[in-house]
Structure formats: C-alpha cells, structure tokens
Structure 1
Amino acid sequence: MRPEPGQVLHFSENPTITRFAPHVAATAQQPEAYVWAVDYERAPDYWFPRQCPRALAWVTPETTEEDRERIIGPGGGLRVHAVEYGWLEQMRTTELYAYRFDARDFRSIGDTAHAHVAETEVVPLGPAERVGDLFELYEEADIQLRVLPTLLPFWDQVITTTLGFSGIRLRNARPASAAG
C-alpha cells in the first residue's frame, strides 16, 4: 500500500475519518499543529499497528558495505524493519487503513523530506482503503521483517551506522533487561 504519484498517505486503524484537522500529537517534537502524511519511500514505516514499537534501517548512498552486512545482512533487500515478538499477533490481526491525499495540500518537513504536513484541514481523496496483510506487504516490497525479543539492543547498533534509520514508538519497546 503506497501512494500513487502526486499523493501522500496517512495510516490509521480508524476507517471512518472524513476530515483531518491539524493537531499537536502527544509525542510531537514540534509545537505546531499538523496533519501528517508520508510519501512512497516512507509508507512501509507505517505498515504496523499504531502503537507498535519499530526500528527501521535502510541503505543510503553513504552506507558502507560493512554496515550493510552487519545490520541488513544476507537475505536480500535494502531495508530491515524490526519488531518485538510481543507485537506479532497484533500485526496479524490489526485492521489498518490508508487515506490518500493530494500531495499539493502538504509540504515536506524534516531532514529527509519524506514526511509531509498540512497546516489546514484536509479531506481524503476517497474513503479509507484496507491495507491488507502486513506480512504480504513486506514480502512484496522486499523488506526484511526481523522479530526480536526487544528492539533496544538492535536500535543501539543501528544508530551508530552509516545506514538511514528511524525509530517509531520506541517508548513502547520492552526494556533490554526484560528480554533475558
């Protein structure tokens, strides 16, 4: 589930939203009110239940072969997304939906320009679309989905590499000491 050219997506577990109003999320690092959306490259970052902690890493032009082998490893693909065992059942059963928006209603934000925000109310281009089987999406996109007892040791390695990376909802991850 990715946006088509000229579109951005917003993922939700709620299929009944008809209008999106800017708000300041409880976890926001910016004080401004936004409606958030993602582009084609970052859509897979949100193929998860909303509260699921995840550590994501991908190859960039600056990535060294050593870092690629150490973190991505064999098995193909240029990305790895890691989750904890405790979230697998929710990944199997959560109904996730995507809302499509006209990208012209959004502007890029942040260092990577893959996140997009609207500062005014926006209306989706159509009704919410069921995302479908999350595991099938990863297979089709050739993204490794790694399952770990806890994300934090993996995250601590990823952030020291030349790979691109993102950590989402890491506050929900199991403490490394609990993974014993």
Structure 2
Amino acid sequence: MRPAPGEVLHFSEDPTITRFRPHVAATARQPDAYVWAVDRTRAPDYWFPRQCPRVLAWVEPTTDAEDRAWLGASRVHAVEYGWLRRVQAVRLYAYRFDAAPFRPFGDPPHAHVATEAVEPLGAPEPVGDLLALHEEAGIELRVVANLWPSWRRVAASTLGFSGIRLRNAVQENAVLERAVLENAVQEQG
C-alpha cells in the first residue's frame, strides 16, 4: 500500500474520517498544527498499528560494510513479540491525498505536512495483511523481545533509521534508554 505519483497517504485505524484538520499531535516536538502524511518511500514505516513501537533501519549509500553485514537486508523493521498479534489483527486504512497542499517535513524529510484542512481523494482503503505487505516489499520483519538493543545499534550506525512510538516499547533500564533516545534525537534533529 503506497501512494500513486502526486499523492501522499495517511494511515489510520479509523475508517470514518472525512476531513483532516491540522492539529498539534500529542507527541509533537514542534508547536505548529499539521495534517501528517507520508510519501512512497516512508509509507512502510506506518504498516503497523498506530501505537506499535518499532525500529526501522535501511541501507544508505553511505552505509559501511560492517553495518550492511549486521543488518543483513536492505531494509528491516523490528517489533516486539508483545505486538505481533496486534500487527496481525489490526484493521488499518490508508487515506489518499493530493500531494499539492503538502510539503516535505524534516531534514532529511520523513513526512509531509499540510497547514490547511484537506479531504481524502476517496474512501479509505483497507491496507490488508501487514505481514504480506512487508514480504511483498522485500522488507524483513524481525520480532524481538525488546527493541532497545536494536535501537542502540542502529542509532550508532551508518544505517538510515527511525524509531516510532518507542515510548510504548518494553522498558529495560528506562533511565539509560531515555538518555540514549534523547541523545539520538538531538543528533538527528
């Protein structure tokens, strides 16, 4: 499930939204109100239940041989065992939008945002089997007991990476992990 050229997607477990209005997300690190969406490259980051913590890593042109070997694939998504059943059972929907009102967000861009209300191009589309989507896209899905070792490894690597909803991950040495996370966010930010 990816957007067509000239489109961006928003993923949701709610199939009843008819108009998206800018808002400040509860997890926002910026004060501005946005409607959030993703492009073709970042769509797989959201093939998960909304609250599912995940670590995403991929090979970049600048990734060194050691990190390529450790990753063992061109792109890997990791989730915790405690979330696997929810990944398998969630009913996820994709809303398609014309990309024109959206602009890239982040450096490098990891999302697209609109500052005005937008309406989807049509009814939300069921995303379907999330494990099958990963397989079809050639993305290795790893299931781990705890995300923090994976997060520490990718955050210190030459890989491209993202951590989403990590506050929902199993807490292991919570104080240390929070410090690692804040340091990595500052380095990327």
Q: Does 1:174 align with 2:170?
A: yes
Q: Does 1:50 align with 2:50?
A: yes
Once the 2 structures are TM-superposed, how far is the Cα of residue 177 of structure 1 from its aligned partner? Answer: 5.4
User: Residues 65-144 of structure 1: matches in 2 within 5 Å?
Assistant: 65-70=65-70, 72-73=71-72, 77-144=73-140
Deviation track 1:66-106 (CA, whole Å, cap 9, x = no partner) reads 11111x12xxx410000000001101110000000001110
Distance in 2 (alpha carbons) for counterparts of 1:78 and 1:138: 12
1:13–1:96 Cα contact (<8 Å) kept: yes
* Matched residue, 1:2: 2
Q: Does 1:28 align with 2:24?
A: no
Unpaired segments ≥5 residues, structure 2: 175-189
Q: Which amino acid aligns with 2:50?
A: R
| Structure 1 SS opposite 2:21 | coil
Deviation track 1:21-52 (CA, whole Å, cap 9, x = no partner) reads 00000100110000000000000000000000
Distance in 1 (alpha carbons) for counterparts of 2:150 and 2:104: 29
Once the 2 structures are TM-superposed, how far is the Cα of residue 65 of structure 1 from its aligned partner? Answer: 1.4
Distance in 2 (alpha carbons) for counterparts of 1:112 and 1:130: 29
Distance in 1 (alpha carbons) for counterparts of 2:172 and 2:110: 30
Once the 2 structures are TM-superposed, how far is the Cα of residue 113 of structure 1 from its aligned partner? Answer: 2.2
| Structure 2 SS opposite 1:56 | strand
Unpaired segments ≥5 residues, structure 1: none
User: Identity percentage over the alignment?
Assistant: 67
Distance in 2 (alpha carbons) for counterparts of 1:63 and 1:153: 19
CA RMSD of aligned residues (A): 1.1
Q: Which moved more, 1:169-178 or 1:78-87?
A: 169-178
1:53–1:171 Cα contact (<8 Å) kept: yes
| Structure 2 SS opposite 1:139 | helix
Q: Which amino acid aligns with 2:91?
A: E
Aligned residues: 174
Q: 2:147 aligns with which of 144, 151, 155?
A: 151
1:153–1:176 Cα contact (<8 Å) kept: no
Q: Which runs of 4+ in 1 moved over 2 A?
A: none
Distance in 2 (alpha carbons) for counterparts of 1:177 and 1:114: 29
- TM-score if structure 2 supplies the norm length? 0.90
Q: Which moved more, 1:107-116 or 1:154-163?
A: 107-116
